[in-house]
Chains A and B, each alone.
Chain A
Amino acid sequence: MIRYIIRRILQAIPLLFIISIVLFALMQNMGDPIAAMAGRNITRSSDRERLKRQLGLDQPIYVQYIYWLVGNDWTKTDIDGDGIRETQGTRKGILRGDFGTSLVNRGKPVLKVIGERLPNTLILMIVAETFIILGSLIIGVYSALRQYSVLDNLMTGLSFVCYSMPIFFIALISMYIFGVLFKRWGLPYLPTVGMFDPNIGKTPGQIALHLVLPVLSMSLISFAAYSRYIRSTMLEVMNQDYIRTAKAKGLPRREIVFIHALKNASLPIVTVVGLDLPLLLGGALVTERIFAWPGMGRLFLDYVSRSDVPVVMGILMMIAAAVIVFQIITDIVYAWLDPRIRYGT
């Protein structure tokens, strides 16, 4: 097992390298960072040249990549442009935890920029995922136990619709119903944008209130896929011999369903959740935009539009790394939960 984990981690390293090279190559034409950095303040071309050199953008792309990767504090850089390399570099490189500095927010470390937004995304993500798992477990188990009942058929139909639903459409509809129509009808209505009411402040109650609609829209879409999945594994498990044995020896139905069946039926869910979690980190992109939620997704959109390459690169690398880490964790948890699976060395 330990050897398997080590092997997986070793395989992940070249993968991250390939990803970083692909992304770094893509970043080259993202727009003019100098213009984004300075706006209209820089008009003289000599200033532009100097800035370019300071940011290391005058170097060939492979040198830029190496600086980004391992830093440039081991070499000297030419900042004033007289052809002599005299200034000691200060960047440490991503391998030593230095993601570089933002161009838009002059010199603010990328990690700090991301760090300010990450908790907001995590709140949204964790709450949504909790609801998705609990809700789809209830729906899935119910549909499996009452196969072809009215509610099961209704859920099957609804899940197809929700599965095909673009997130922005469901978000707009729920905002319209619970935000606009409820207000019009004089009912208590929900806030549609932001994370908290600036007049009241960032209290847990406010955040919870503002969470309702984004979480609702995200859950409705994911319920569909998850509950179908749970339904089918649950149906499969309920037909197994050991369940018949449990029934035959007279165990209460509740115990059979929730202890014997659900435990095994929920195994494959681990895979789905594990693979979806990191995607939620980025999948909330559109949700965050619609609900004006100040998280990573909106950060990404803002910084892409301003061509802030270090921040964009940092976000993408973090998400890619998260995807890989969650894949490994999922496989390990799966093996740990299911004794039938033994990973060879």
Chain B
Amino acid sequence: MGDAVSATTNIPRLSQDEIESPPLSLGQLTWRRFRRHKMAIFGAVVLILLVLYSFIGSFFLSEKYANYTDTNLRLQAPSSTHPFGTDSVGRDVLARTIYGGQISLLIGLTAVTIETIAGVLVGAAAGYYGGWIDAVLMRITEAVLNIPELFLLIVMAKEFAGKIPTITLLGREFSGSVIVIVVIIGLTSWMYLARIVRAEFLSLKENDFILAARATGTSNNGIIFRHILPNSMAPIIVTATLGVANAILAEAYISFLGLGVQPPTATWGNMLDGANSYLESAPWLWFFPGMLILLTVLSINFLGDGLRDALDPHSRAV
């Protein structure tokens, strides 16, 4: 022990803190790397602010107020009573961006949940079992990939439009179109994830620990979900994070085209529907929701970028 101390006197000294700190867990390592990624921190902070904006905001302005139409107050420019102005039927744009934000963010998260479940199941089955299962699943994946997502979304939106009734959840009414949009965005975006998961499974299943698991009689499901899947979480988390941004964008595009979530339920996307006609007369109609979409997508992209670097097991930076 004495030798070791004398030997370290000549080399650059580590600080006391670094010598004594216990080995870092994977989570701590990831957090350390993530913390150094300034843009990712910026993205995370902005995202938290946006979430607070749309959820805390609802304590101050009721949803009834957001959907309250007053045709005497059509297209009012931003003022002290209506900071973001009013829309073409006299609803307050500020209140609608708050409630629209809730729906847009919820759509992003739930659509990604569906996307992730579908992508992981397809990718895992294809990668693990191989053979004809792989061939069939990957041909289908490829086929869906070859149809541009927006076209597929429009066709499916048209197909399911108006088939799901309005539902009441937690004392609030949701237009059935919200469910439709969530499901179809989830069903049209799982393909990339499926490919990534498949690639992970293909390489991981050749490892010795899988052989060991199989030798001890672990079932296929056990191997897939308890042994391989946890090891391929990093790319799944990154893809899912970026997927939230894509889902919010997809909702915005399709609602912008008037095929998405139907009023009176507000989303950032459908607030922009028809903004074309008010390009000149009421720029506040499209500026605020557009800006919020941009901020959300931007901060999620930063966050995903930071996570990608932080979760990379090959990254040596601590």
Q: Are B146 and A320 in contact (CB under 8 A)?
A: yes
Complex Cα distance, B252 from A327, in Å, reads 29
| Chain A residues in 8 Å Cβ range of B301 | 160, 163-164
| Chain B residues in 8 Å Cβ range of A316 | 147, 151, 155
Complex Cα distance, B248 from A159, in Å, reads 19
Contact with B along A107-127 (1 / 0, CB 8 A): 000000000000000000000
Q: Are B142 and A166 in contact (CB under 8 A)?
A: no
Dominant secondary structure of chain A at its interface with chain B = helix
Please provide the chain B residues from 218 to 268 with a CB less than 8 Å away from any CB of chain A in the complex.
245, 249, 252-253, 256-257
Closest to B299 in A: A164
| Chain A residues in 8 Å Cβ range of B291 | 169
| Chain A residues in 8 Å Cβ range of B154 | 285, 300-301, 304
Known: A18-B140, A22-B144, A279-B148. A168 touches B272 (CB 8 A): yes
| Chain B residues in 8 Å Cβ range of A282 | 148, 150-151
Interface residues on B, range: 35 or more
Q: Are A169 and B294 in contact (CB under 8 A)?
A: yes
| Chain A residues in 8 Å Cβ range of B18 | none
Tell me whether A323 is interfacial, beta carbon within 8 Å: yes
Known: A19-B147, A168-B272. A26 touches B298 (CB 8 A): no
Q: Are B298 and A164 in contact (CB under 8 A)?
A: yes
Known: A180-B280, A286-B256. A15 touches B293 (CB 8 A): no
Contact with B along A312-327 (1 / 0, CB 8 A): 1001100110011000
Q: Are B283 and A283 in contact (CB under 8 A)?
A: no
Number of interface residues of A (CB under 8 A): 47
Complex Cα distance, B150 from A190, in Å, reads 29
Complex Cα distance, B147 from A336, in Å, reads 27
CB distance from A322 to the nearest CB of B (A): 9
Complex Cα distance, B287 from A160, in Å, reads 19
Complex Cα distance, B88 from A221, in Å, reads 29
Tell me whether B276 is interfacial, beta carbon within 8 Å: yes
Q: Are A23 and B147 in contact (CB under 8 A)?
A: yes
Tell me whether A172 is interfacial, beta carbon within 8 Å: yes
Tell me whether A30 is interfacial, beta carbon within 8 Å: yes
Complex Cα distance, B137 from A18, in Å, reads 11
Known: A19-B147, A286-B253, A301-B154. A172 touches B279 (CB 8 A): yes
Q: Are B275 and A172 in contact (CB under 8 A)?
A: yes
Tell me whether B206 is interfacial, beta carbon within 8 Å: no
Q: Are A176 and B283 in contact (CB under 8 A)?
A: yes
| Chain B residues in 8 Å Cβ range of A83 | none
Query: Out of B158, B252, B279, which one reaches A305, CB within 8 Å?
Result: B158
Please provide the chain A residues from 76 to 99 with a CB less than 8 Å away from any CB of chain B in the complex.
none
Q: B residues within 8 Å of A by Cβ?
A: 39, 139-140, 142-144, 146-148, 150-152, 154-156, 158-159, 245, 249, 252-253, 256-257, 272, 275-276, 279-280, 283, 286-287, 290-291, 293-294, 297-298, 301-302
Q: A residues within 8 Å of B by Cβ?
A: 14-15, 18-19, 22-23, 26-27, 29-31, 160-161, 163-169, 172-173, 175-176, 179-180, 192, 278-279, 282-283, 285-286, 289-290, 300-301, 304-305, 307, 312, 315-316, 319-320, 323-324
